[in-house]
Structure 1
Amino acid sequence: MTQQGVRWTADQVLALAPDAASRKAGSKLGAAGPWSEAGSTDEGTVWGLCRGSGSKPYQTVIDIADAAGPAYKCSCPSRKFPCKHALGLLLLWAGGDGAVPPGQAPDWAEQWIKGRRERAQEKRTAGTDSASGPGDPEAARRRAERRAVRITAGATELEQRLADLLRGGLAGAEQAGYGLWEETAARMVDAQAPGLAARVRELGAIPASGPGWPVRLLEECALIHLLDQGWLRRERLPRDLAATVRSRVGLSASADGPPVRDRWLVLAQYDTADARLTTRRIWLYGADSGRTALLLSYGAAGRAPELAMPVGLELAAEVSAYPGAGQPRAALGEQFAPPVPTATRPPGVTTEQAAARYGEALRGDPWLDSVPVTLDRVIPTPDGDSWQLADADGDSALPLTPSARSRPGLWRLVALSGGAPVKVFGECGHHGFTPLTAWPEGTGAAVPLC
């Protein structure tokens, strides 16, 4: 693959930005004015000097061919990755107007590229060695047993607290306030069941959240009760469902599925954050296998995760699935070539088929919030104070989730459609449909909506 013949779109570059401020600042640096000595190589290296406020220009270099997505190095003091200079340089390179010509990388860029690729190779070698080592299976078994005892105690206590809530009446939850749920969640953390803790914390936001909150609270309590009972009776469950229960209570597992080599289309990438962690979700679609896979990457609070894959690229790679009934999560394995833009699109279904697909998935994982779905030939349509995606060739529609209606991506979707059918990838669940990426009818590049 020759990088010089491959150009990303501006949307694909800006999708890498850690926040809106970086996206705006990087866009301003996407012109040739502040740059000098910019260049690129066939191996996927882009570099340049950017004039700043100091006496010396900032040295910026990007490794586009990195297996985990672009990697960046800049001499500026910014703690964001990528910084505005890296975004600006990528935009300049993506323009393809000769502002970033092919050439030989300068010493400062070549040294960084060589060093990081050597470290990556050492890390892969060390990982292979550790994976093949004998370890101490007996010690691991004892640790797992001790943790299982703690989780069982936590699940039993949580069952009692749910019973007390129902016995006293749901109105008491509104009077007790958020403190009740935070204290219960802390108890689940002590029990080493972070999955239970996260679900309990969500209960605290439901009372007094608007009309119908008692129904929503009861529904969520029922799901937690089901998860508790699944854990307490895990030995009787089918293997895949038991693996799902372990994952939902917070037990980590390794990606033990057989590696699937494919041409993986990057469907969507978006981040969610709380006070402690930023989680990045990257959806992939296998052009040959027809499988949809989810990659998860994490970063400490305030820092973007390292793994980054712009929407609309295709990578030849292997992925391995995590255990669980119908779990889409996978781990990225060996990559055989750098990501390249592609015109490949995933096949779509109707809105009615999408709803049915979510219903089928709930049989294997009752706690599933949504499933990845591509809708074919739908039109964004106002529905009173809300919006929906209506089938262009049928009578059914899916409402958009409240979060989707408040995102700027909704208006990008409406503008892309212009009243005509579009193909849309997103997540379909009990709250509705969240659009993440769209393609215009006919030809055209993928448009990120998140």
Structure 2
Amino acid sequence: MQLSHGGETSPAAAPVARWSVEQVLALAPDAASRTAGGRLGTAGPWSGTGGDGAGAVWGLCEGSGSTPYRTVVDLTGPAYHCSCPSRKFPCKHALGLLLLRAADEAAFRRSDPADWAAWIEGRRRRADGSPGSGAAREPTSTDAARKRAERRAARVTAGVRELEQRLSDLLRGGLATTERAGYGLWEETAARMVDAQAPGLAARVRELGAITGSGPGGPVRLLEECGLLHLLDTAWLGRERLPEPLAATVRTRVGLPASAEGPPVRDHWSVLAQYDTPDGRIVARRIWLYGRDSHRTALLLSFGAPGRPPAQALPVGTAIDAELTPYPGGGQLRAELGEQFGAVPPAGPPPGIAAAEAPAVYGNALRDDPWLDAWPVVLRDVIPVPAGDGWQLADARSASAVPISPAALSRPGLWKLVALSGGGPVTVFGEIGHRGFDPYAAWDPGDPEEGEAAPAAARSVVPLV
């Protein structure tokens, strides 16, 4: 049986933004589909993969039979077509194909659709109302893209209104009822947000499910996250009245795809930190950069398919002469690495701030993106010291301090930081958020027997994650 499902498509027009792993996984109809799709997110079971650069991708996936399953996805809907007998939308093969694209876009050679993938052409002809060629459809592409965006916005709006009703029912009945309902309540709500083509909302709803039953402090955190989700719903419904940078942030948080845009920024970028975060069998890699002349901090985000690390890697402590293109949105630091012109000598640590200033920096960033968990900062002249059951970074020049986040307490990087400090002040890069400061890298202050710290440009950076 051949199955297809999804929203309307549009004629081939501008390239469709590359989806992230989170956006793909948010489309899964249930947890079993996410797990099964993750196993198919590698190049191993696939052959004949390709794409037309305008939103269509396809591939042949090995199955239990002698004939591979023919899978086609139209990202402009999204819509899915697979020769497997599954009744789930999207099926595990469609999820696996999209996960492979998120991790390795180079695996999809641009070409015209294969003969067995001609389903995509039929959808586009129906959307255009014309059986003609691509050239005949070209004049209507702008109108069709606008109508497609309006249809998706209408679906998201309907999903947001439904989510608001569910949050109201939850608070009216009391947060204690979530313990009895279990995770199924959140999974079913997340599936409804997937149907509304709002994968960002689906991901946040699943996070609520993880908080339920998490122990002491769980109800407080649940209430906080429900408040942030309500704020996001309200912002979407009133997005026309928001400044464009904040409106772009809302679109991104809801889960609409975005691509890097605007003029590229060429600079000498120092690599401050690089670390991987597992998400099931998918690995997300974050690389933090600092521009010597632009004084900008930027985040490179990439993903690795199951069993493979992300392809993008930059050694911590090095520096590159390169162009970065930023993503849209208020307070957004994510960028895309463009042309590289070669390596340059490291420039030492970026300018730092006092520990007492860090909470205000995070607070200012929240004005541009109220859903930020943390914000990158460089703290100068801080000393790691014990504080009750945890640790904090105390300012060497004042009585102020910031707590180290609970997530960092179990990592060996904390003890590397303590050893590097030796009781003296150090410069540390990390993220400050509502749970405290998470250290990612520190600069060697130099040999204390020499009487003073080494010059900034000569100081080496020590990764802490």
- Decide: shared fold, TM above 0.5: yes
Partner of 1:412: 416
State whether structure 2 residue 405 is matched by structure 1 residue 401: yes
Q: 2:238 aligns with which of 210, 233, 238?
A: 233
Contact 2:375 2:432 in 1 (8 A): yes
CA contact (8 A) 1:266 1:283 kept: yes
Contact residue 298 and residue 334 of structure 2 kept, 8 A: yes
2:366 aligns with 362
Which shifted more, 288-297 or 201-210? 201-210
Matches within 5 A, 1:40-119: none
* SS state at 2:256 partner: coil
- Alpha-carbon distance in structure 2 between the residues aligned to 1:257 and 1:352: 34
Structure 1 distance, partners of 2:307, 2:232, is: 32
Match of 1:326 in 2: 331
Code of the residue aligned with 1:383 in structure 2: it is A
CA contact (8 A) 2:273 2:463 kept: yes
**1:381 alignment partner AA:** V
The match for 2:356 is 352
Using the TM superposition, give the Cα deviation of residue 343 of structure 1 relative to its aligned residue in structure 2, in angstroms. Answer: 4.1
* Post-superposition CA distance 1:106-126 (Å, at most 9, x none): xxxxxxxxxxxxxx9xx99xx
String of CA shifts for 1:21-74, please: whole Å, max 9, x gaps: xxxxxxxxxxxxxxxxxxxxxxxxxxxxxxxxxxxxxxxxxxxxxxxxxxxxxx
**1:137-172 CA deviation, whole Å, 9 max, x = no partner?**
333223222221221111111111100101101110
Letter in 2 for 1:426: G
Secondary structure of the corresponding residue to residue 319 of structure 2: strand
Aligned residue number for residue 391 of structure 1: 395
Checking the alignment, whether the CA contact within 8 Å between 2:348 and 2:460 is kept in structure 1 is no
Alpha-carbon distance in 1 for matches of 2:140, 2:334: 26
Of 152, 158, 180, the match for 1:153: 158
Letter in 2 for 1:325: G
Q: Any unmatched runs of 5+ in structure 2?
A: 1-105, 111-137, 446-452
2:461 corresponding residue in structure 1: 446
Which residue identity lines up with residue 307 of structure 2 in the other structure? G
2:302 corresponds to: 297
SS at match of 1:411: helix
Greater shift in the superposed pair: 133-142 or 237-246: 133-142
Contact kept, 8 Å, 2:270 with 2:320, in 1: the verdict is yes
In 2, Cα distance between equivalents of 1:397 and 1:310: 30
2:184 maps to what in 1? 179
How far apart are the structure 2 equivalents of 1:273 and 1:369?
A: 18
State how far apart, in whole Å, the 2-side matches of 1:244 and 1:269 are.
24
Query: Which residue of 1 is the match for residue 7 of structure 2?
Result: none
- Separation in 1, partners of 2:252, 2:172: 30
Question: Residues 164 and 356 (structure 1 numbering): CA distance in 2 closer, same or farther, change over 3 Å?
Answer: same
Tell me whether 1:205 sits opposite 2:220 in the alignment.
no
Q: 1:288 to 1:182 in 2, by over 3 A?
A: same
Q: 2:385 maps to which residue?
A: 381
1:332 positional shift: 1.1
- The amino acid that maps onto 1:294 is L
Shift of 1:265: 0.3
Q: Is the 8 A contact 1:273 1:301 kept in 2?
A: no
TM-score, length basis structure 1: 0.68
How far apart, CA to CA, are the structure 2 residues paired with 1:414 and 1:284?
A: 24
> Could you tell me how far 1:176 is from its partner in structure 2?
1.1
Q: Deviations over 1:85-139 (max 9, x none)?
A: xxxxxxxxxxxxxxxxxxxxxxxxxxxxxxxxxxx9xx99xxxxxxxx9993333
Q: What value does the CA root-mean-square deviation take over the aligned residues?
A: 1.9
Q: What is the alpha-carbon distance in structure 1 between the residues aligned to residue 215 and residue 444 of structure 2?
A: 37
- What displacement does 1:341 show? 5.2
Compute the displacement of 1:401 (Å): 0.9
Report Cα offsets for 1:396-448 as digits up to 9, x if no partner: 11111111111111111111111111100001111101000000223331100
- Measured in 2, the distance between the counterparts of 1:266 and 1:180 equals 42
Correspondence 1:261 to 2:266:
yes
Unaligned runs of 5+ in 1: 1-119, 125-132
Amino acid at match of 1:424: V
1:430 counterpart (420, 434, 440): 434
> When the two structures are superposed, what TM-score results if normalisation uses the length of structure 2?
0.66
Q: What is the identity percentage for the equivalent residue pairs of Structure 1 and Structure 2?
A: 69
In the TM superposition, what are the counterparts of 1:244-259 in structure 2 within 5 Å?
Answer: 244-259=249-264
**1:439 counterpart letter in structure 2:** W
Q: Tell me, yes or no, if structure 1 residue 306 matches structure 2 residue 315.
A: no
Structure 2 matches for 1:110-129, cutoff 5 A?
A: none
Tell me if the contact between 1:274 and 1:301 (Cα under 8 Å) persists in the aligned partners.
no
Which position in structure 2 is the counterpart of 1:27? none
Aligned twin of 1:192: 197
Deviations 1:258-288 (A, max 9, x none): 2111100001111112125321111100011
- Corresponding pairs, count: 320
* Residue identity opposite 1:295 in structure 2: L
